[in-house]
Structure 1
Amino acid sequence: MTERIPGPGGGVWPGEWVARELGVELTGGVRELVGLALRRNPKRAHLLVSDVLGKHVPQRPQRVYGAGLELGRRVRELLAPGHSADGAAGADGGVTDDEAALRGTVVLGYAETATGLGHAVADGLGPVPYLHSTRRRVPGATQAGTFEESHSHATGHLLLPEDPALLAGDGPLVLVDDEFSTGNTVRNTLRALHARYPRRRYVVVALVDMRSAEDRASLEKFAAELGSTVDVVALATGGVRLPADALERGQALVAQHDPAASASPEQATAATPAAVPATARRIDLGWPLGVPDGGRHGFLPAHRARLETALPGMAARLADGLAAAGVPAGPEHPPGPPHAPRVLVLGCEELMYVPIRLACALQDHLGDRAEVRFSTTTRSPVLPVDDPGYAIRTRLAFPAHDDPSDGPGERYTYNVAPGADPARRFDAVVVLTDTPGDTPDLHAAGGLLARLAPHTGAVLLAVVPSHTPLPQPLRGPFFSSYDPEDVGWLLQDLSDVTLEAPTEEREEAIQRGGAHYAESLPVEYQPSEEYQRLFHSALDTSAARIARAVGTVTETVLAERGHGAVLASLARAGTPVGVLMRRWARYAHDLDLPHYTLSIVRGRGIDTNALRHLAARHEPSGVVFVDGWTGKGAITRELAAALEPFPGFDPEIAVLADPGGCVRTYGTREDFLIPSACLNSTVSGLVSRTVLRADLVGPHDFHGAKFYRELAGADLSRHFLDAVAARFADVRDAVAEDVRALLAADPADRAPTWAGWRAVERISDAYGIGDVNLVKPGVGETTRVLLRRVPWRILARRGAGADLDHVRLLAEQRGVPVEETDDLPYTCVGLIHPRYTRGATGADGKAVTTAGEATR
């Protein structure tokens, strides 16, 4: 009879089989946390199998997550002795002592085994960013470093932070792995990182520290060479004693007990039970927008807070899915006997943290109505032996299903099949993968879902949207003539692409339906000296009026949305307004409001990648969309429709002027001249209108625009901003009065009336146009018609004064009639010629004047 070695809990230690057969001995306290197995690896035969990692052994998720949290708390005590572990904000919302003590700290976890552990350490440590290495090559992601893990089955590690500054701080860098065996991997990592991002302090964290005395001395020497401090934190320390022939004996044992290791491919296939494609019940988790699926590209404290809020709802969806699949684990199922179902939440390789957290939340949701366990798949080949004294009892092999960088191959999940012990059977397995892993191979015969199906009562599938890195916002002076802090452009630079087309050609293509207005750009209008004089005169006259409107709309936003507002202006007309609102907030409140500009295209919607960028960095509810003015309200409606799939964002637009009665947050509802409407790029940072064309803008790209550097000599962007900002002090009292009146008014008085839309419909019918998109109401929209489109005629309110001087001049230059009328809610309205073709005649029988003819 074989003597059984007792485990820490009184049962059989799941390492005694290897200890006996291979002659391995573990020392110290590590046996409390690990078992032993054998693997097919030419460098190391034995494998420490953690009981608290959740990679190879299905474990209670609270124990897995709790081990990481405990390590994080120990690191916190090392770095910030005496500080609390909750990371709560101060009473005034300012920086806490915790945050100050940990400023600049970053946690880095190792793929694939420690991605979830490292994330849990970051949670236990406090409000710090997290990044893990990856073996997945991600198109478009910038590589910030690479290193080798010499003893691993797959040695190469990539560092792909979305924000390149993530690794560039000067605070401690905390490196997390499941075991610290020799220190070679840590030295390789630090050598690579320290050359690019030197730091004074590093902390190495592991569940078990297995180093020898020589290994410890080697690390101390290495730290001295770097000129840095390297601390080590572990839950348990110990060592491993191996016989001299351990590698050869291990390989022989693998060959003896694993026929697949020595079989030909044909024999191995024949030995695998036949499988048919499995149909898994899909569960929509309701994943929160802007939260990454893990730390592959970085995970910030704000992401964690948003995930915490969403976890209970996602757990409820999982529970509903289990109930729908016939697993009696819902609230209607009584706790305890006759049967509390066993549910496994199974992550896939590097996707560990989200499954851990969801498994914890599911257990909290179900209470004692079910027993929830957690584990993940792996690429590491391990010998299974169905013996209580061996850590890996069963193995399911299946083809890789996430297009791995190292090519197709086999993947594994361990201890999921019950083997000889039916009590270990799971009633349901919930597979969690990310979108790159949701491939035909996952669902195919022999794929993961099919391999699981015979060993459980139900297979469910939840797919987490994989976070795709987006480029950083463009900023001046490299893109636009604005200061870099004025605005971040969520656009891609298409300056080197020829996009301009003659106005008449664009109009004909647009109206015939062969092109969209956002697929090309009009030739930039070059104003005459007379027109430039009109611009400067208009600016002098209206600067105080604009300043008052800027102050009023900004103060309204701050009063109703708080000082944490994030400005998101709609390019291009909204951009100067957003910059001015930011300047007012700084002038009046010493606030530096974040300001971005993004693209929205009529008929095509908003740039969803720009929304993702905003949601990944800011709370969506704090984002305030900004535009210059409203016309008939087409963009207002476009934005509301575009945001429906993105809960959390408020579709309300804040505008300088709302003559169309389309919004409730505005500086004024008067239709007056805003000089930034008089020009194109030369008053908007030298940036073009936005472009959306399939051959230029891919699924992971921002919409495009051009930076007209060659027009720098004619640029008036800063002049416009400075002229308006110079009047802030003059209008401050008037702004305070305006805002008091607005906030005290009956909400119905500020509600949108859509009077402008009704007026446009009336005008379209009266002039036989038949398309409201060809009616452009208001001074700003009329100016755009004259600068960019083929105008038919201008309707002007009788008696309109200097606000229309520039409109009259442009109309005269282009041979466009100006009709004065009494029945007009706007100062003016521009009509684009309907059914335009070159050489066409208008409704009055006169030849249409094209842009080309007007400028010759």
Structure 2
Amino acid sequence: MAARINKKRSFLFVSKVLGKHIPVNPYTPLLSGAALALLLYREMNGEAAYDSMMDRLLDQAVQGMIHPEYAEAAYHDLLEARLVLPERVLFIGFAETATALGHSMYNMFAAGASYIHTTREDIPQLASVVSFEEEHSHAVDHLCYALNAELLSGEEPIVLVDDEITTGNTAINTIRDIQSKFPRKEYVVASLLDWRSDSNIQAYRNLEQELGIRIRALSLLQGTIEVTGTPQLNLVESGSHTSAATEAPVIITYVQDGLERLNVTSADSLGEINASPYLRQSGRFGVESQDNRQLDQGIAQVASQLRALREGATALVLGVGEFMYLPMRIAAEMGEGVKYQSSTRSPIHPDRRPDYGVHSAAAYPSAGDPGISNYIYNVDPGRYDDIFVLLERDVPRRRIEPMTDILKRLAGNKVHLVILAPDTEEGGLAG
């Protein structure tokens, strides 16, 4: 655990399998979503359909999460199982932490699935089909931009995916909003951790009675918690980020991925517009099973190019905020010695105690919105030869420099700022 700098919630579970606050083997967070997919498969097909092969796959997934040396083989075995649910299912991942978790859970199913993640990006040209608040968060507004109007309008079950459930209020708020616009009979709430109290669990039952629906909860670990003490409200940066004697060069590379783009703009809290297009298949705008092959091809194409840029034995691949799943998948295909994690907007107090989850922290204004602080945790100088930062879309150079100024004091060799692009581009990151 770690102290969260938030008046609404003073603690944070620092996951070793999520790929957010701690660098991990990239197959580990992919397996965490896969394990949830297996639990859903058992829940929807019944125990009779959950044979010895499925028991073996779940055991492999768990062993792969615990022992990273088995993670890659376990992940590919699960993909090769080609699981299909008995009916169509829509998966919704919660921004920002569970965007990759939801995508990796959805991706385990070979057909009949669709996925979208919520976002806090303001895209003026699009209307959010559902909106809700995450009450304990420092960033409460969740938006959902579904390009396909049919994505939420059916009667299929919706699976809400989050990294942890503490009170269950976020899921309740989401279900209320969806049910008021796109009513259906069944919801599933899937999470790595479920810490709901008896009264929180009863709140689900009460909502079922009120709305005439069924809510099922799935998790890898369930229990109860009690936290006491005074919240830590001031971020104290670790001094390790300024101790490097030399600074690594920053190399800017535009990498062709062959994927589709969506020509819409974003607006930040300062009123500035970014006209750079978004990735169509990131998950923010909705994807379906038939999109997976093209996405797999794009990921392999990028990973091949980045593998060729590696010069050292160790590398760190960084996703940025909500943009987690594609960098995670790309990192998994970049060879040995690669770890993955993402920057985050969650402010956490660092401490060097061995039993504490966040040992170092660096804060900087977000490239997407300088009015929002982002953080990089648990990366010490010289730990990785090469650091690759993957951006979904172009941003002005002046906006990314606060992040790269930190990273060039952490990388042992080079910092690669990688901008995904539909075609080879030159002269970006201007301004």
1:675-709 superposed Cα distances (whole Å, 9 cap, x missing partner): xxxxxxxxxxxxxxxxxxxxxxxxxxxxxxxxxxx
Q: Is the 8 A contact 1:203 1:230 kept in 2?
A: yes
1:143 matched to 2:128? The reply is yes
1:108 matched to 2:108? The reply is no
Quote the offset at 1:302 in angstroms: 2.1
CA 1:441–1:171: 2 relative to 1, 3 Å: same
In our comparison, the structure showing a higher alpha carbon Rg is 1
CA 1:353–1:454: 2 relative to 1, 3 Å: same
Structure 1 counterpart SS, 2:14: strand
Quote the offset at 1:352 in angstroms: 0.4
Quote the offset at 1:126 in angstroms: 4.0
Quote the offset at 1:273 in angstroms: 8.4
Equivalent position to 2:208, from 220, 223, 244: 223
Structure 2 counterpart SS, 1:398: strand
CA 1:356–1:281: 2 relative to 1, 3 Å: same
Quote the offset at 1:272 in angstroms: 7.5
Q: Is the 8 A contact 1:108 1:118 kept in 2?
A: yes
What TM-score does the superposition give when structure 2 sets the normalisation length? 0.81
Stretch of structure 1 that moved more, 456-465 or 190-199: 456-465
1:528-572 superposed Cα distances (whole Å, 9 cap, x missing partner): xxxxxxxxxxxxxxxxxxxxxxxxxxxxxxxxxxxxxxxxxxxxx
Correspondence 1:390-401 to 2 at 5 A: 390-401=356-367
Correspondence 1:794-813 to 2 at 5 A: none
Aligned partners of 2:17, 2:316: CA distance in 1, in Å? 15
Higher RCO (Cα < 8 Å, 6 or more apart):
2
CA 1:235–1:112: 2 relative to 1, 3 Å: same
> Counterpart of 2:327?
355
CA 1:236–1:125: 2 relative to 1, 3 Å: farther
Q: Answer 1 or 2: which has greater strand percent.
A: 2
> Counterpart of 2:66?
none
Equivalent position to 1:179, from 151, 154, 164: 164
1:143-188 superposed Cα distances (whole Å, 9 cap, x missing partner): 1010000001201100111112111111110000000110111110
Equivalent position to 1:250, from 207, 213, 231: 231
Q: Is the 8 A contact 2:247 2:409 kept in 1?
A: no
Aligned partners of 2:244, 2:299: CA distance in 1, in Å? 38
Equivalent position to 1:452, from 383, 407, 415: 407
Q: Is the 8 A contact 1:276 1:450 kept in 2?
A: no
1:388 matched to 2:360? The reply is no
> Counterpart of 2:84?
98
Q: Is the 8 A contact 1:442 1:449 kept in 2?
A: no
> Counterpart of 1:798?
none
CA 1:275–1:350: 2 relative to 1, 3 Å: farther
Q: Is the 8 A contact 2:6 2:231 kept in 1?
A: no
Quote the offset at 1:274 in angstroms: 12
Q: Is the 8 A contact 1:293 1:465 kept in 2?
A: no
| Fraction of identical pairs, as percent | 32
Q: Is the 8 A contact 1:37 1:383 kept in 2?
A: yes
Aligned partners of 1:455, 1:401: CA distance in 2, in Å? 19
Letter in 1 for 2:97: T
Quote the offset at 1:240 in angstroms: 1.1
> Counterpart of 1:342?
314
Q: Is the 8 A contact 1:147 1:158 kept in 2?
A: yes
What TM-score does the superposition give when structure 1 sets the normalisation length? 0.42
1:367-417 superposed Cα distances (whole Å, 9 cap, x missing partner): xxx3111100011111111222110011111111013xxx61321110112
Unaligned regions of 5+ residues in structure 2, if any? Answer: 55-77, 261-278, 425-431
CA 1:443–1:156: 2 relative to 1, 3 Å: closer
Aligned partners of 2:118, 2:340: CA distance in 1, in Å? 22
Letter in 2 for 1:431: V
> Counterpart of 1:410?
373
1:183-217 superposed Cα distances (whole Å, 9 cap, x missing partner): 11111000111000111110000000011111111
1:79 matched to 2:24? The reply is no
Aligned partners of 1:87, 1:193: CA distance in 2, in Å? 33
Correspondence 1:488-527 to 2 at 5 A: none
Q: Is the 8 A contact 1:114 1:178 kept in 2?
A: yes
1:131 matched to 2:87? The reply is no
Structure 2 counterpart SS, 1:354: helix
Letter in 1 for 2:258: P
Q: Is the 8 A contact 1:293 1:354 kept in 2?
A: no
Correspondence 1:265-284 to 2 at 5 A: 280-284=250-254
Correspondence 1:298-377 to 2 at 5 A: 298-322=286-310, 327-328=311-312, 341-362=313-334, 366=335, 370-377=336-343
> Counterpart of 1:591?
none
Quote the offset at 1:280 in angstroms: 2.4
Q: Is the 8 A contact 1:108 1:132 kept in 2?
A: yes
Quote the offset at 1:312 in angstroms: 3.0
The count of corresponding residues between Structure 1 and Structure 2 is: 375
1:66-112 superposed Cα distances (whole Å, 9 cap, x missing partner): 111110121122123428876989xxxxxxx936x222x10000000
Equivalent position to 1:461, from 407, 410, 417: 417
Aligned partners of 2:252, 2:242: CA distance in 1, in Å? 27
CA 1:293–1:388: 2 relative to 1, 3 Å: farther
Letter in 1 for 2:256: G
CA 1:376–1:427: 2 relative to 1, 3 Å: same
Q: Is the 8 A contact 1:204 1:230 kept in 2?
A: yes
Aligned partners of 1:396, 1:387: CA distance in 2, in Å? 17
Letter in 2 for 1:120: S
Correspondence 1:22-171 to 2 at 5 A: 36-81=1-46, 82=49, 98=84, 101-103=86-88, 105-127=89-111, 128-171=113-156
Q: Is the 8 A contact 1:112 1:134 kept in 2?
A: yes
* CA RMSD, Structure 1 to Structure 2 (Å): 2.8
1:505-532 superposed Cα distances (whole Å, 9 cap, x missing partner): xxxxxxxxxxxxxxxxxxxxxxxxxxxx
Q: Is the 8 A contact 1:107 1:122 kept in 2?
A: yes
Q: Is the 8 A contact 2:39 2:218 kept in 1?
A: yes
> Counterpart of 1:199?
184
1:294 matched to 2:282? The reply is yes
Aligned partners of 1:465, 1:309: CA distance in 2, in Å? 14
Letter in 1 for 2:408: A
Q: Is the 8 A contact 1:395 1:417 kept in 2?
A: no
CA 1:310–1:465: 2 relative to 1, 3 Å: closer
Aligned partners of 2:400, 2:141: CA distance in 1, in Å? 28
Correspondence 1:837-852 to 2 at 5 A: none
1:426 matched to 2:387? The reply is no
Aligned partners of 1:62, 1:432: CA distance in 2, in Å? 17
Q: Is the 8 A contact 1:167 1:197 kept in 2?
A: yes
Q: Is the 8 A contact 2:114 2:286 kept in 1?
A: yes
Q: Is the 8 A contact 2:248 2:409 kept in 1?
A: no
Letter in 2 for 1:360: A
1:316-358 superposed Cα distances (whole Å, 9 cap, x missing partner): 2111112xxxx23xxxxxxxxxxxx221110000000001100
Correspondence 1:530-569 to 2 at 5 A: none
Letter in 1 for 2:84: D
Q: Is the 8 A contact 1:399 1:441 kept in 2?
A: no
Letter in 1 for 2:203: S
> Counterpart of 2:73?
none
CA 1:131–1:124: 2 relative to 1, 3 Å: same
1:222-259 superposed Cα distances (whole Å, 9 cap, x missing partner): 1121111100110111121223xx2xx233xx55xx55
Aligned partners of 1:239, 1:186: CA distance in 2, in Å? 18
